[in-house]
Amino acid sequence: MRVTQRVKRILANYEGENPGTKGNLARILMHGKLGGTGRMVILPVDQGFEHGPARSFAPNPDAYDPHYHYQMAIDAGLNAYAAPLGMLEAGADSFAGAIPTILKMNSANSWATEKDQAVTASVADALRLGCSAIGFTIYPGSEYQFEMIEEIRELSEEAKSVGLAVVVWSYPRGGDLSKDGETAMDVTAYAAHMAALIGANIIKVKPPTAHLEQPEAKKVYEKEGVDISTLSKRIAHIMQSSFNGRRIVVFSGGAAKDTEGLLNEIRSIRDGGGSGSIIGRNTFQRPREEALALLDSIIKIYQGKA
Amino acid sequence: MRVTQRVKRILANYEGENPGTKGNLARILMHGKLGGTGRMVILPVDQGFEHGPARSFAPNPDAYDPHYHYQMAIDAGLNAYAAPLGMLEAGADSFAGAIPTILKMNSANSWATEKDQAVTASVADALRLGCSAIGFTIYPGSEYQFEMIEEIRELSEEAKSVGLAVVVWSYPRGGDLSKDGETAMDVTAYAAHMAALIGANIIKVKPPTAHLEQPEAKKVYEKEGVDISTLSKRIAHIMQSSFNGRRIVVFSGGAAKDTEGLLNEIRSIRDGGGSGSIIGRNTFQRPREEALALLDSIIKIYQGKA
Amino acid sequence: MRVTQRVKRILANYEGENPGTKGNLARILMHGKLGGTGRMVILPVDQGFEHGPARSFAPNPDAYDPHYHYQMAIDAGLNAYAAPLGMLEAGADSFAGAIPTILKMNSANSWATEKDQAVTASVADALRLGCSAIGFTIYPGSEYQFEMIEEIRELSEEAKSVGLAVVVWSYPRGGDLSKDGETAMDVTAYAAHMAALIGANIIKVKPPTAHLEQPEAKKVYEKEGVDISTLSKRIAHIMQSSFNGRRIVVFSGGAAKDTEGLLNEIRSIRDGGGSGSIIGRNTFQRPREEALALLDSIIKIYQGKA
Amino acid sequence: MRVTQRVKRILANYEGENPGTKGNLARILMHGKLGGTGRMVILPVDQGFEHGPARSFAPNPDAYDPHYHYQMAIDAGLNAYAAPLGMLEAGADSFAGAIPTILKMNSANSWATEKDQAVTASVADALRLGCSAIGFTIYPGSEYQFEMIEEIRELSEEAKSVGLAVVVWSYPRGGDLSKDGETAMDVTAYAAHMAALIGANIIKVKPPTAHLEQPEAKKVYEKEGVDISTLSKRIAHIMQSSFNGRRIVVFSGGAAKDTEGLLNEIRSIRDGGGSGSIIGRNTFQRPREEALALLDSIIKIYQGKA
Amino acid sequence: MRVTQRVKRILANYEGENPGTKGNLARILMHGKLGGTGRMVILPVDQGFEHGPARSFAPNPDAYDPHYHYQMAIDAGLNAYAAPLGMLEAGADSFAGAIPTILKMNSANSWATEKDQAVTASVADALRLGCSAIGFTIYPGSEYQFEMIEEIRELSEEAKSVGLAVVVWSYPRGGDLSKDGETAMDVTAYAAHMAALIGANIIKVKPPTAHLEQPEAKKVYEKEGVDISTLSKRIAHIMQSSFNGRRIVVFSGGAAKDTEGLLNEIRSIRDGGGSGSIIGRNTFQRPREEALALLDSIIKIYQGKA
């Protein structure tokens, strides 16, 4: 399929990047059932690192096998598959060229007593495994936020110099942030903006609630009458905060909810102009056929067919 | 489109390569109208370097514009586009992600008094431009053959380590080789074999004639009764000489001929099991519509439809 | 002996690795009495570093001599011998080519007040000593877990690039983990999974108890009815957690017990599909003849003869 | 099999090498039907590079396939398989760990007008492909001899520092040497000695004739009554010239001859104390069954059974 | 003098080292009055760094002059002289070739509040000053033990690669160790063992007392009946803990005592099989003639003449 006008307009926003990085963004944007629409659905499987294998895969034991996820992402017609080093290595040869991959470069685990992550891969790994992008989590607000930001800065510079794209998971936590604050409107917008500022090509945040965490920010939102009354308005504000829509922003599935709740959330992301979804647990913790059906429903929503 | 079984079988032959290099081979093999068939047609535009702009582009002045060739390769549904640094740079951003590109790393010119080429690009260039492969010409037989082989050895090691594929133009010339010898059966088979031995992923040679140049080789061909009576038999022998068909071999258009002559040559390449064609002058020296029609005819032949 | 089909199937799971690393895995898998079966028994002698020489060797003073352990591993027909730098250097020449060796790259000692280890060797050491693999301990859960993971990440990338295999000792400890938690089912499965995710080729964990340490994980094990009632079921769950059996996992001897208790444990490892054992103290703290007899019993179990 | 006393005595001669290099020599010396005897038979397949594919493989077309040679070396129970980069890459994964391999690092071709070779691989290639040794040809006497010697010096230093062994093909040619002189007694002894002097671990030369090429040398041979009357005496003199037997020296098959002639030559090599044979064309230009039978006869001779 | 059989047997234990490092060990072992006996006495002068000049040299003001110590070591017929960078530089030219020197690479001072040392020289310094070895102190048990071990690991790898020998001062302190514990039997044996494990060629520890510090170790010593009743028995146990006597271990003068006390300690070291002594303060804080006499007495003891 030809690179569409829609995708070309998106690529044109990345005017600081070299053609290699744009080409890899194009690969992701042009792949799968949403290829060419400017929307994307990505399958991330780093849950095993974060929560351990049983909590991740016991509900659907086929998912213990790394090949399962590659195949799922391909069969569902997703845009890309993101995972830590070992998961990608375990299928990189069998699925060479089959789907754009994103090497998740850092990970935490359930036992961490500090809000930090370990770097577990290199840009050279991403190249030899044929990845299109690197992925990296930052925790704005944590006591390690500056170290994390400096790590991704270095990795990002290296990755972009060799034509890879950079995906940043921007998850505020720690410091004075309340639990509710982690998904507050102002905090999420801030997290997305910060990711854009450090050069992220694709930004991942959680769908924001209407909560406003920071008093100073609250005053402004109220004074200026920023409309954050519905999720789609809030999504639109996130896009606005991400260089007025010049950056791709994808949203995670958020808190566990029923399927209809999830699909309505997707509709709001779409209506708010969000770039798409990154759906992990909601995918691989269901039986394969159910997961494929769910992903198809999500894709239809982004296609404007549902 | 899913990676086909045919392409998977081809990739499996590259067992010394990492998943990145296999992924880039897959990108080329899966792109365009021949995507998934295991065949390929590549557009090379290094003619300007070799013969100067007027000899190359005056017959079809639109072709002076580097964008013309990108667009041609895309519109014709080819597998890849190969060109020197400047040509790729001149369109790399406009056509990011639109078609796999091959950075031709060395070039000669009309004024060269020695059978050598200058290296004009780096592996880092290939990465920042988003290329899928590097291309390199060797002149087996020339007084510079060992230097050229040592150059591609180094570039090839570097390119493969970062997941790029390697295309070698293997053009015997110089030394004791006669002009006819440059395209002789024995010489061309040897040139293809040598390219495979130095680690080429894709080998480009000229369609061989029935001439046998080297007396020692001639004896063997005759004694063993190697059938080289038709072009398709000769193509089959080239494939055999390229690790028994384990390497992709593409053929240039050969000596100037009329369209029907060219299409018959393509049919022979197809029937002999050749991997495809790399068609430069025969493409860009015709008016655009004619060229598109010609390439479509060629593709139909490789698809078995003509 | 030819590389067996069983071993070839195991090697095929390491699809991200180059042929050098696979070759070294093959050397280990094809060596000794279990050569070709896909099972392995490894002798590790890093006890002296961890607990001092007297606690390690006084029960069997011949074991003070580094040559003793090389000879033991050879005479018992084991697959490999693992030790810190000094121990390997002290016999590397006498036993060159005699048995695959694993250079243990980091070590703690009894006086450490932090749950960390010192790196005591380099990848260059492993090459000049002719080792087949490097070994590295991580302490998931400790306050140094991320530093340790980042150390092995770097060493692993370097080791694999030169064709060495990577063995990770994954020993949870520290943080909020209770003493019982260190060998809990959920914790051990998580530790094995994490080692796989960071790219370990061979994973070493302790045989897990039926204890479930983490409340969130406990809920899942109970809800999903994961059968962990017997050691062999628990071993099977470890293998499942290690990329569904795509990674080699070996088990240490666990808590001190009598010989029959140890052999029964081995039977459970075998029945659960575990890849084998790594038996240190239980080997070198017995008189040589007893140790040889014990190892022979263990090997017979893995051979299915006992 | 345990490293034999015979092999240990051979290894002890390499006292300048680190345990890694000795370990790789041991791997070669302990592999195959001659494993442990101190003798070796190696299959080299660089003929395609030197003479082209048809002259090399047309007599036995199965040999066009790189897998054919790996399988031949394994099935015949040889000690090692030596080939250029592309040949090894084409089977390195399928045959990982199956047989020690030697990466032939430089090659000439039939069209070379100078007595030189091109370097076509790196030490890093040897490591990632899991090779036990590098191989390199020098042409003592040629106008490029010093360049070649300096190339192998650098490669050898690098290879040994990472535990690889070094095999030197020492083929005098060029300069004032007559055609007969290339295999003369004095010249071959000199070529073997020179290879030993530059640090070769394994030396390959051609079986010497009784011809004495250099007048000054001739005088000494005659004055001192060096007995070179039979091939086995001449082989003994080669071994003597290779540090009094402290270096492994293997002999190529020499000029084409009938099978009995070849076997008699092998008997002379054995009786003269030669380390073994390196048999290319005589192997792969025969049908597989014939080749296996021939190699078995050769091995039986070295085993002292024929 | 020829390298003696005794020294050759010692060198043979260093089988992981290259001939350069063995040669430097031989230089030390063959120098001075004890040359060839396998015993050694070394003069270390790093006291000034540790305690300041007045505490070190005021009792014998001639010792302020660096030449004094070189001359002392030479005149006394010692095996080697060890000192920090500045001390060696101050006499390196005058005494070039006169006595083997050991460059002490790290030092603490009286004002340090942490149990660590500063690295004050490089391996390049050792080479340009013509040293035979580098020396390095580790403090097993201290909060910096892992950093110190990692420092010597790197320096040791570099030093050995250029043919230098490595001497490790292994001085337990810090953490939970009591003051008595620092010279306890179990702790000293552990310290010596750890130095051997990290690759020390020569190990320096303090003569151990009969105290057993670690409860777990105490149990083993008692249960196994390890005889530590006399100093010579304890020395023998240190040697056993140093790879069963495969490593050279030298002992410092220990706590202040009268001359006869010191000589008796030396006799115990000799009788226990210790490799020798390293005597600083006891040497240079006496008048020169007295010191020479003392050293002569010590040497006579090691020669078995007293």
CA D85 to chain centre: 17
Chain D nearest-CA residue for C20: D130
Q: Do E176 and C111 touch (CB under 8 A)?
A: yes
- 3-class DSSP state of B40: strand
Phi and psi torsions of D118, nearest 5° = -100, 140
Share of chain E above pLDDT 70, in %: 99
**B290 conformational bin, left if phi > 0, alpha if psi -120 to 50, beta if neither:** alpha
Indicate the helix (H) or strand (E) that contains E124: helix E123-128
Contact between B48 and B66 (Cβ < 8 Å): no
- Token pair 């019982």: residue: C180
| DSSP per-residue codes, D181-192 | GGG-HHHHHHHH
From D11, D22, D74, residue closest to C2, measured CB to CB: D74
For the residues E53-74, what does the mean pLDDT come to?
A: 94
- pLDDT confidence of residue C204: 98
For the residues C61-82, what does the mean pLDDT come to?
A: 98
| DSSP per-residue codes, C118-133 | EE---HHHHHHTT-SE
Query: Please, what is the angle between helix C66-75 and helix C288-302, to 10°?
Result: 40
Q: Do C26 and D97 touch (CB under 8 A)?
A: yes
Identify the sign of the CA torsion B256, B262, B265, B266: positive
d(CA C148, CA C171): 12
What does the block give as tokens for E133? Answer: 């070895």
d(CA A191, CA A197): 10
d(CA E201, CA E136): 12
Q: Which residues of C touch A (CB under 8 A)?
A: 13-17, 140-141, 143, 145-147, 149-150, 153, 157, 172, 175-177, 186, 189-190, 193-194, 196-200, 214, 216-217, 220-221, 224, 226, 237, 240-241, 243-244, 246
pLDDT tens string C221-269: 999 999 999 999 999 999 999 999 999 999 998 666 789 999 999 999 9
d(CA D68, CA D56): 13
Neighboring chains of D (3 or more beta-carbon pairs < 8 A):
B, C, E
For the residues A180-202, what does the mean pLDDT come to?
A: 96
Share of chain C above pLDDT 90, in %: 93
Indicate the helix (H) or strand (E) that contains E202: strand E202-205
Q: Which residues of B touch C (CB under 8 A)?
A: 15-16, 18-19
Q: Do A127 and B11 touch (CB under 8 A)?
A: no
- pLDDT confidence of residue D70: 98
A and C: number of Cβ contacts within 8 A: 125
Annotated active-site residue in C33, C104, C160, C204: C204
From B7, B95, B127, residue closest to A163, measured CB to CB: B127
d(CA B124, CA A123): 14
Chain B nearest-CA residue for A4: B98
Q: Do B244 and D66 touch (CB under 8 A)?
A: yes
Question: For residue A224, with 0-12 CB atoms within 10 Å meaning exposed, 13-18 middle and 19 or more buried, which class applies?
Answer: exposed
Residue type at C269? I
**Nearest C-alpha neighbor of A143 from the set A122, A102, A123, A172:** A172
- Token pair 């954050």: residue: A228
pLDDT tens string B80-115: 999 999 999 999 999 999 999 999 999 998 888 888
- pLDDT confidence of residue E106: 94
- Contacts with B196 from chain D: Cβ below 8 Å: 86, 90
Q: Do B25 and A162 touch (CB under 8 A)?
A: no
For the residues A174-198, what does the mean pLDDT come to?
A: 95
Q: Do C18 and D163 touch (CB under 8 A)?
A: no
- Contacts with C19 from chain B: Cβ below 8 Å: 15-16
CA distances from E253 to A263, B139, E259, E281 (A): 80, 74, 11, 8
Exposure class string for B137-173: b at 16+ Cβ within 10 A, else e: bbbbbbebbbebbbbbbebbbbbbbbbbbbbbbbbbb
Nearest chain D Cα distance for residue B77, angstroms: 31
**Nearest C-alpha neighbor of C94 from the set A293, E233, D8, B132:** D8
Q: Do B129 and A19 touch (CB under 8 A)?
A: yes
d(CA E69, CA E81): 8
Mutate to test the interface with D, among C14, C29, C93, C99 (most CBs of D within 10 A): C93
Residue E172 pLDDT > 90, yes or no? yes
Indicate the helix (H) or strand (E) that contains D200: none
- Contacts with E19 from chain D: Cβ below 8 Å: 15-16
- pLDDT confidence of residue E109: 87
What is the C-alpha end-to-end distance of chain C, expressed in Å?
Answer: 24
A and B: number of Cβ contacts within 8 A: 104
pLDDT tens string C272-288: 999 999 999 999 999 99
For the residues D243-259, what does the mean pLDDT come to?
A: 88
Annotated active-site residue in E22, E104, E160, E204: E204
- pLDDT confidence of residue C87: 97
Residue E127: pLDDT band with limits 50, 70, 90: very high
| Tally of domains in chain A | 1
**Nearest C-alpha neighbor of C98 from the set D16, E12, D17, D36:** D36
Q: Do E19 and D16 touch (CB under 8 A)?
A: yes
Phi and psi torsions of B119, nearest 5° = -75, 125
CA atoms within 13 A on the CB side of A60: 20
pLDDT tens string B17-34: 999 999 999 999 999 999
Q: Residue B141 maps to which CATH number?
A: 3.20.20.70
Q: Do B15 and C18 touch (CB under 8 A)?
A: no
CA atoms within 13 A on the CB side of D165: 29
- pLDDT confidence of residue B257: 75
- Contacts with A129 from chain B: Cβ below 8 Å: 18-20, 163
Chain D nearest-CA residue for E12: D15
Q: Which residues of A touch C (CB under 8 A)?
A: 48-49, 51-55, 58-59, 61, 64-66, 84-94, 107, 109-114, 116-122, 124-125, 129
Q: Do C96 and D161 touch (CB under 8 A)?
A: no
- 3-class DSSP state of B126: helix
Q: Do C146 and A87 touch (CB under 8 A)?
A: no
Question: For residues A228 and E115, which has the higher predicted lDDT (pLDDT)?
Answer: A228
For the residues D234-243, what does the mean pLDDT come to?
A: 97
Residue A175: pLDDT band with limits 50, 70, 90: confident
- Contacts with C198 from chain A: Cβ below 8 Å: 84-86, 120
d(CA E42, CA E28): 9
Residue type at C27? R
CA D234 to chain centre: 17
| Beta strand extents in chain C (DSSP E only) | 40-44, 80-83, 101-104, 106-107, 118-119, 133-138, 165-170, 202-205, 248-252, 276-278
B and D: number of Cβ contacts within 8 A: 128
Residue type at E104? K
Nearest chain A Cα distance for residue B290, angstroms: 21
Beta bridge partners of B166: B134
Residue D115: pLDDT band with limits 50, 70, 90: confident
- pLDDT confidence of residue A1: 73
Contact between C203 and C242 (Cβ < 8 Å): yes
- Contacts with C226 from chain A: Cβ below 8 Å: 54, 58
Q: Which residues of B touch D (CB under 8 A)?
A: 13-17, 140-141, 143, 145-147, 149-150, 153-154, 157, 172, 174-177, 186, 189-190, 193-194, 196-200, 214, 216-217, 220-221, 224, 226, 237, 240-241, 243-244, 246
Q: Would the ipTM clear 0.90, i.e. be above it?
A: yes
- pLDDT confidence of residue C12: 97
CA angle B221, B223, B224 (to 5 degrees): 65
Residue D86 pLDDT > 80, yes or no? yes
Residue type at E116? D
What does the block give as tokens for C249? Answer: 């996992």
Q: Of all residues in chain E, what percent are helix, strand and coil, respectively (each to 5)?
A: 45, 15, 40
pLDDT tens string C196-225: 999 999 999 999 999 999 999 999 999 999
d(CA C249, CA C227): 19
- Contacts with C113 from chain E: Cβ below 8 Å: 143, 175-176
Q: What is the dihedral of CA E210, E216, E222, E227, to 10 degrees?
A: -40
CA distances from E19 to E22, E38, E81, E275 (A): 5, 18, 22, 21
d(CA C133, CA C135): 7
Nearest chain A Cα distance for residue B94, angstroms: 8
- pLDDT confidence of residue A105: 97
Q: Supply the range of the domain harboring residue C135.
A: 5-302
For the residues B48-71, what does the mean pLDDT come to?
A: 93
Annotated active-site residue in B33, B160, B204, B206: B204
**Nearest C-alpha neighbor of D75 from the set D305, D299, D292:** D292
Share of chain C above pLDDT 70, in %: 99
pLDDT tens string E232-251: 999 999 999 999 999 999 99
Q: What long-range pairs does B7-15 form, CB within 8 A, spacing at least 24?
A: B7/A97, B7/B36, B7/B38, B9/B38, B10/B38, B10/B248, B11/A96, B11/A97, B13/B243, B13/B246, B13/B247, B13/D90, B14/B201, B14/D89, B15/C19, B15/D89, B15/D90, B15/D91, B15/D92, B15/D93, B15/D94
Residue C53: pLDDT band with limits 50, 70, 90: very high
Query: Please, what is the angle between helix D185-197 and helix D231-241, to 10°?
Result: 30
Residue B120: pLDDT band with limits 50, 70, 90: very high
Q: Do chains E and B touch (3 or more CB pairs under 8 A)?
A: no
d(CA E160, CA A84): 38
- Contacts with C150 from chain A: Cβ below 8 Å: 118-120
Phi and psi torsions of C111, nearest 5° = -95, -5
d(CA C207, CA C273): 13
d(CA A188, CA A234): 10
Chain D nearest-CA residue for B148: D118
Residue B297 pLDDT > 70, yes or no? yes
d(CA B63, CA C196): 53
Residue C31 pLDDT > 80, yes or no? yes
Q: Do C15 and A94 touch (CB under 8 A)?
A: yes
Residue E19 pLDDT > 80, yes or no? yes
- pLDDT confidence of residue B306: 84
**Nearest C-alpha neighbor of E252 from the set E61, E92, E43:** E43
Contact between C197 and A49 (Cβ < 8 Å): yes
Residue E255: pLDDT band with limits 50, 70, 90: low
Indicate the helix (H) or strand (E) that contains A277: strand A276-278
For the residues D45-68, what does the mean pLDDT come to?
A: 95
Q: Of all residues in chain A, what percent are helix, strand and coil, respectively (each to 5)?
A: 45, 15, 40
Phi and psi torsions of E205, nearest 5° = -135, 170
Is E33 a catalytic site residue?
no
